[in-house]
Amino acid sequence: MANVVIVGGQWGDEGKGKVVDLLCPAFQHVVRFNGGNNAGHTVRFADRHFALHLIPSGILHPACRCLIGPGVVVDPTALLGEITALEGQGVSVRGRLLVSPRAHLVLPGHRALDVAREATRGAGRIGTTGRGIGPAYESRAARTGVRIGLVRRPQRLREAVAEASRELELSIRRHEGAAVPTADEIEAAVAAALSLAPMVGDVSLALAGAVGRGEPIMFEGAQGTLLDLDHGTYPFVTSSSVLAGSAAPSCGLPARTIDGVLAVLKAYTTRVGAGPFPTELTDALGEQIRRRGNEFGTTTGRPRRTGWFDAVAARAAVRWNGIDAVALTKLDVLDDLPEIPIATAYQTGGAEVTEFPDDVADLAEMTPVYEPMPGWRTSTVGITDYERLPELARRYATRLEALLGVPVVLISTGPRREETIVRRIAPLARWIPQPL
C-alpha cells in the first residue's frame, strides 16, 4: 500500500494514460493535481478507446474514486462534455468524481485570449493547446479568477464570471481581429459550471480521510517534466507545476504523504509545440517514428516532433522529481531500427555538458553527443515477459537504467493495457504487493 505520484518525464505524451490505467486496480483514489484539458490521455482497453482530458483515468475502474484537485484549472463546458461522453460509453461518472471548490474555472475569455495571443505571436508562438490554460492560471495568480466553489452561490458566480469576462475582453481586444466570446458562450459556461455543483466538494478533506484509513492514492500528473513552469524549457512550457513534489501540497496534503514517484518515459522523445529539442529528427527517420508511433496529439491532433532518447534531460527529470522508477513506453516503435542512439551529453562551443541548461537559448545551441545502441530488428509487440524481450532490447532498457540510476519496472509493448511487461521488482513490488 503506497501513495504514488505518476509524472511524465519528458515533454508530455509519454503514455501516462495507459500506465495510470494499468496501475489503477492497486489504488482506491486517483487525483489529478495540475493542468487542465490541455492534457490528453488515451486509454485503450480491448476494442474500446477512451480519450480523457480532465477526468482522471481511474474513472474507467468502477472501484476507483476520482478527484480533481485545487491546482487544476477546469473548463466547465469541456468537463461536462467529457462526463457526457463517458456516460454515453457506459462509464458511470457522477457520484465517483469530486472536484475541489478551490479549482479555478477556465472561462471562454481565457480560451479566446490564449488563441489571440498565439495568433499575434506569429513565428514566436509557444504552440499552446489553445485551451486557455495559461490565461486561466494568470487570472488565478492575479487574484481575478473564478473558483468553481462559487457554483454553490449561483448569483455570485454569475457576477464573478461577468466581471472576469469584462476584464479578459480588454486584453483580448488588444489583439487585432481577435474574437471576443459572446454573451451566449459565457452563459453556456456558467450553466455547465452550475450543472457540476453536485460533484464539488473538499478534495483535501476526502484525501486526508483516505490517508487516515490507509487507502492508497495515485496522484496522476499531466504534461511532462520539461513543460514544468519553473524547471522546464521556459517560456516553452505550460503554466502549472508539473513535478511530483507539488502533487500532495497542491491537493492540501503534506508532502510526506507521497511514498514513491514513477515516471513515464517514452523509449524515444516527442514534443508538441515550439521550443528547443536537441535530439529532434527532422528527416525521414523522424517521420517513420511519427507514423509507427502514431505521434499525433490526443488533444489537438497536431503531429508531434520526434527524436532520440535524451538522457541528459531525463537525468534532470530524475533529480527534479525524485523519480524512484521508470515506466518505459512504446519500446515496440523502435523494433525496425538498425541503430538506436541515446544522447548522453551535449556539445557546445567545444565543451561537453552533462547538465540540462536553464536557458533555452543555450539549449538551442547544444548538439547531442550520442551513444549508439544496436537495434534488435525483431518484433516486441505484445510481449509481456521481460525474459522474452530480444536480448538487444533488454540491453537498451538496461543502458537507460544505468544512465538514469533508477530501475525500469514497466515496459509498454503496444497501446493496449494487456501489452505490457510488469517487472515485479523494487520499488514496484513494494508499492503494489499484489499482482495487478
- Residues annotated as catalytic are 13, 41
Candidates 21-29, 99-107, 125-133, 422-430: pick the segment binding ligand IMP (CB under 6 A).
125-133
Query: What long-range pairs does 16-19 form, CB within 8 A, spacing at least 24?
Result: 16/41, 16/220, 16/221, 16/222, 16/264, 17/41, 17/42, 17/43, 17/52, 17/57, 18/42, 18/43, 18/44, 18/329, 18/412, 18/415, 18/417, 18/420, 19/262, 19/264, 19/327, 19/329, 19/410, 19/412
Beta carbon nearer to ligand IMP, 75 or 324: 75
Q: Closer to ligand IMP at the Cβ: 57 or 239?
A: 239
Task: Identify the residue among 238, 241, 269, 329 touching ligand IMP (CB under 6 A).
Answer: 238
Cβ(16)–Cβ(220) below 8 Å: yes
CB of 128 to ligand IMP, least distance (A): 4
DSSP codes of every residue in 320-337 = HHT--EEEEE-GGGGTT-
**Binding residue (CB under 6 A) for ligand IMP from 5, 6, 39, 218:** 39
Nearer to ligand IMP, 129 or 279 (CB): 129
DSSP-derived pairing of the beta strands 73-74 and 104-105: parallel
Residue 221 in contact with ligand IMP, rule: CB under 6 A? no
CA atoms of 245 and 258, how far apart (whole Å): 9
100 versus 269: smaller Cβ distance to ligand IMP: 269
Tell me the C-alpha distance between 106 and 168, whole Å.
12
**Can you tell me which of 28, 34, 37, 129 binds ligand IMP, judged by CB under 6 A?**
129
Cβ nearer to ligand IMP, comparing 129 with 306: 129
Cα 347 to Cα 227, 232, 432, distances in angstroms: 23, 20, 41
Q: Is 369 exposed, middle or buried (0-12, 13-18, 19+ CB in 10 A)?
A: middle
Cell of 309: 532518447
The site for ligand IMP, by CB under 6 A, has a size of 20
Q: Which is nearer to ligand IMP, 12 or 252 (CB)?
A: 12
Considering only 183-191, 234-242, 249-257, 405-413, which stretch makes contact with ligand IMP by CB under 6 A?
234-242
Using rule CB under 6 A, residue 406 touches ligand IMP: no
Residue 57 as a binder of ligand IMP (CB under 6 A): the answer is no
Angle of CA points 190, 41, 295, to nearest 5°? 125
Establish if 233 lies at the interface with ligand IMP (CB under 6 A): no
Stretch that binds ligand IMP, among 33-41, 251-259, 330-338, 397-405 (CB under 6 A): 33-41
CA-to-CA distance for 57 and 16, rounded, in angstroms? 9
Residue 84: exposed, middle, or buried by beta-carbon count in 10 A (0-12, 13-18, 19+)? exposed
Cβ proximity to ligand IMP: between 257 and 270 the closer is: 270
Cα–Cα distance, 358 to 342 (Å, whole number) = 21
Binding mask 262-301 for ligand IMP (x = CB under 6 A): ----------xx----------------------------
State which of residues 25, 81, 101, 127 lies at the interface with ligand IMP (CB under 6 A): 127
Helix (H, G, I), strand (E, B) or coil at 262: strand
Using the rule CB under 6 A, is 40 a contact of ligand IMP? yes
Out of 68, 150, 189, 227, the only residue in the binding site for ligand IMP (CB under 6 A) is 227
* Whole-angstrom distance, CA of residue 232 vs CA of residue 11: 9
The least CB distance from residue 125 to ligand IMP, in Å, is 9
Query: Min. distance of Cβ 221 from ligand IMP in angstroms?
Result: 10
Report CA-CA distances (Å) from 76 to 80, 193, 327: 6, 5, 32
Does residue number 131 form part of the binding site for ligand IMP (CB under 6 A)? yes
Which residue has its beta carbon closest to ligand IMP? 273
- Omega before 198 cis (within 30°)? no
- Chosen residue from 7, 9, 12, 52 binding ligand IMP by CB under 6 A: 12
133 binds ligand IMP (CB under 6 A): yes
Footprint on this chain of ligand IMP (rule: CB under 6 A)? 12-13, 38-40, 126-129, 131, 133-134, 222-223, 227, 236, 238-239, 272-273
